[in-house]
């Protein structure tokens, strides 16, 4: 595997590069496992390495969505504005379980607690709605990138937050207009916006935002969008 300098990462992020992720094909069939470092190296992505991930959209009771700015020591897209929480299920029996996406939901719950500091018990598996899947690929820099089959999850609940600063530089709830302003600033180069946030905001949120009260009917769990 290529040697890439990771000295600029903090200890937490270096440790997480050893986590074993779920390697899948383009139809989300599990074909193996590989560590986070290898899954995010462009050299491997260019050879077709693809892994499973998730993105969480956390809405409060005012129908505002939580947007986070990724920490500057994240290995991919450091300092970029992103969705509420995004990460990966691990290659473990609990997080590989596929019925009703329960394994991915468990991973999302684990990461919302670790990344956003949501106390245990504030969000349950039942609060997490599996909306759809999208397949995306993007380079962060010359060495690192993303190539993922991503489960898009939605939670609507007021919860206390205490973000881990090694994961999230900042968090804020935004309404439609505020999120659009952020995207416009990104298009002008004034801020950095993660490509998957733009995809979600442009492809999914226009269909969902006005229907959060009965959002279940809009879920498409058997669809994989290619973006």
How far lies 156's CA from each of 8, 23, 128, in Å?
36, 30, 8
Residue showing tokens 């020591």: 73
Pick from 126, 146, 124: nearest CA to 134: 146
Active-site residue 126, yes or no?
A: no
Q: Give, in degrees to the nearest 5, the angle at Cα 143 between 88 and 37.
A: 35
The position carrying tokens 């609507």 is 156
Catalytic residue among 39, 148, 150, 204: 148
Distance CA 19, CA 217 (A): 35
pTM exceeds cut of 0.85: yes
User: Out of 86, 95, 115, 167, which one is annotated catalytic?
Assistant: 86
- Rounded Cα distance, 191 and 2, in Å: 31
Query: Any catalytic annotation for residue 39?
Result: no
What is the distance between the alpha carbons of residues 226 and 135, in angstroms, rounded to a whole number?
A: 5
* pLDDT, one tens digit for every residue, the chain (227 residues): 456 777 667 677 777 889 999 999 999 999 999 999 999 999 999 999 999 999 999 999 999 999 999 999 899 999 999 999 999 999 999 999 999 999 999 999 999 999 999 999 999 999 999 999 999 999 999 999 999 999 999 999 999 999 999 999 999 999 999 999 999 999 999 999 999 999 999 999 999 999 999 999 999 998 998 87
Give the 3-state secondary structure percentages of the chain, helix then strand then coil, rounded to 5: 35, 30, 35
Structural domains for the chain? 11-226 (3.90.79.10)
- Please report the beta strands in 60-164, taking only residues with DSSP state E, as ranges in sequence order: 65-70, 81-82, 85-87, 129-139, 145-156
């Amino acid at each position: 595997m290529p040697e890439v300098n990771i000295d600029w990462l903090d200890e937490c992020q270096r440790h997480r590069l050893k986590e074993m992720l779920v390697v899948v094909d383009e139809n989300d069939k599990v074909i193996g496992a590989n560590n986070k470092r290898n899954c995010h190296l462009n050299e491997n992505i260019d050879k077709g390495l693809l892994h499973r991930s998730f993105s969480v959209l956390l809405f409060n009771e005012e129908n505002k969505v939580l947007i986070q700015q990724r920490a500057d020591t994240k290995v991919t897209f450091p300092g970029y504005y992103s969705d509420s929480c995004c990460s990966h299920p691990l290659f473990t029996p609990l997080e590989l379980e596929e019925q009703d996406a329960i394994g991915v939901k468990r991973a999302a719950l684990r990461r919302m607690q670790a990344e956003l500091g949501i106390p245990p018990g504030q969000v349950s598996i039942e609060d997490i709605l599996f909306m759809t899947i999208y397949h995306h690929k993007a380079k962060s820099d010359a060495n690192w990138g993303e190539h993922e089959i991503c489960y898009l999850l939605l939670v609507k609940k007021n919860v206390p937050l205490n973000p881990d600063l090694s994961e999230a530089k900042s968090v804020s709830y935004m309404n439609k207009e505020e999120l659009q302003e952020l995207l416009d600033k990104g298009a002008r180069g004034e801020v950095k916006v993660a490509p998957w946030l733009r995809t979600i905001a442009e492809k999914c949120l226009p269909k969902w935002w006005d229907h959060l009260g009965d959002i279940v009917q809009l879920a498409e769990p058997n669809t994989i969008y290619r973006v």
